[in-house]
């Protein structure tokens, strides 16, 4: 019987950066530089993708494509994506260090799992160069993983399964049955499903919930519960095997998975 011996966890919105705000603000700024106003929902919907793919996904939204054509008197082309991505990188690199604080409960949960002999891999929508900033800053605040894989150098980022498979190779995990993918976006869930691993969505701190820590803490309980239920439904509809309220529930979830194997 195979037991879970590897967790592959996302970074922004799952392990660090409560609410996944580092990329959000930059996407809004980049589109504003093009004379466009996109909504928080439009900016967040493709979250988890490689960032150049994220820009492309926003531009493909019918309302955004229509706005682009109205502003620029032509449809967008690939050169626009490259220009916007260059601006995105510039702004993101300037602000990344401000968004590396671990989400409450993450450090103790991951250290608990490590103590049980579970290996901790990770995937991300950030490039290797971005993670060269994020990873040491997060480590200085107490959060470390055993392995990091970015989309850099792979055939594709999320929702393709390649980053999960690369983690399995790096950590010598022989079976997808021994792996749990943990993330806060629909792209994370699709990544896990495409890799055929156990797939877990996390609500609190997530891009899907889209709240700052302060908004989360101050929101009336009934209103917060409604928002959380909406996120839970979206993640379940996307195919997540489990959806947890917080990362603190992950060890118990792993026990449940092990008992079902």
pLDDT digits (tens, 9 = 90+) for 93-110: 999 999 999 999 999 999
Q: At what angle are helices 21-33 and 51-60 packed, to 10 degrees? A: 50
Least confident of 41-50, 81-90, 190-199, 240-249: 41-50
CA 28, CA 9: separation in Å to the nearest integer?
A: 26
**pLDDT on residue 128:** 95
Q: Is the pLDDT of residue 261 over 90?
A: no
Neighbour order of strands in the sheet with 242-244:
119-122, 6-9, 179-183, 198-202, 242-244
Instruction: Please tell me which residue in 3, 17, 51, 166 is annotated as part of the active site.
Output: 51
**pLDDT on residue 183:** 97
Q: What percent of the chain has pLDDT over 90?
A: 96
**pLDDT on residue 234:** 97
Distances (CA, A) of 208 to 18, 127, 137: 11, 21, 24
pLDDT tens figures, 12-21? 999 999 999 9
Residue in 147, 170, 126 with CA at minimum distance from that of residue 23: 126
Task: Output the DSSP codes for 122-156.
Answer: EB-SS-HHHHHHHHHHHHHTT---S--B-STTSS-
pLDDT tens figures, 37-62? 999 999 999 998 989 999 999 999 99
Q: What is the mean pLDDT of residues 191-215?
A: 97
Give the pTM: 0.90
Structure tokens at 100: 């590396």
Q: Is 170 a catalytic residue?
A: no
Q: Is 255 a catalytic residue?
A: no
Handedness of CA 222, 228, 231, 237 (dihedral sign): negative
Q: Is the pLDDT of residue 1 over 80?
A: no
Instruction: Please tell me which residue in 10, 17, 53, 184 is annotated as part of the active site.
Output: 10
SS3 of 183, please? Answer: strand
């Amino acid at each position: 019987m195979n037991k879970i011996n590897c967790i592959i966890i996302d970074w922004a919105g799952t392990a660090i950066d409560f609410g996944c705000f580092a990329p959000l603000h930059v996407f809004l700024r980049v589109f504003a530089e093009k004379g466009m106003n996109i909504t928080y929902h439009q900016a967040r919907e493709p979250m988890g993708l490689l960032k150049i793919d994220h820009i492309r996904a926003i531009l493909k939204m019918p309302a955004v494509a229509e706005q682009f054509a109205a502003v620029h008197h032509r449809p967008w082309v690939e050169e626009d994506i490259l220009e916007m991505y260059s601006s995105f990188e510039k702004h993101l690199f300037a602000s990344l260090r401000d968004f590396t604080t671990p989400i409450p409960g993450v450090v103790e949960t991951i250290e608990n799992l490590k103590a049980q002999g579970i290996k901790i891999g990770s995937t991300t929508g950030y490039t290797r160069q971005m993670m060269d900033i994020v990873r040491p800053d997060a480590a200085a605040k107490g959060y470390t993983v055993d392995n990091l894989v970015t989309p850099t150098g792979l055939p594709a980022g999320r929702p393709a399964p390649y980053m999960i498979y690369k983690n399995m190779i790096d950590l010598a995990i022989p079976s997808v049955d021994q792996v749990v993918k943990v993330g806060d976006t629909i792209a994370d869930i699709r990544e896990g499903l495409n890799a055929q691993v156990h797939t877990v969505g996390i609500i609190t701190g997530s891009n899907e919930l889209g709240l700052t820590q302060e908004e989360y803490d101050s929101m009336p309980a009934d209103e917060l519960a409604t928002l959380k239920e909406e996120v839970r439904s979206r993640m379940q509809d996307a195919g997540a095997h489990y959806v947890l309220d917080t990362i603190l529930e992950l060890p118990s979830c792993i026990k449940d998975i092990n008992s079902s194997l």
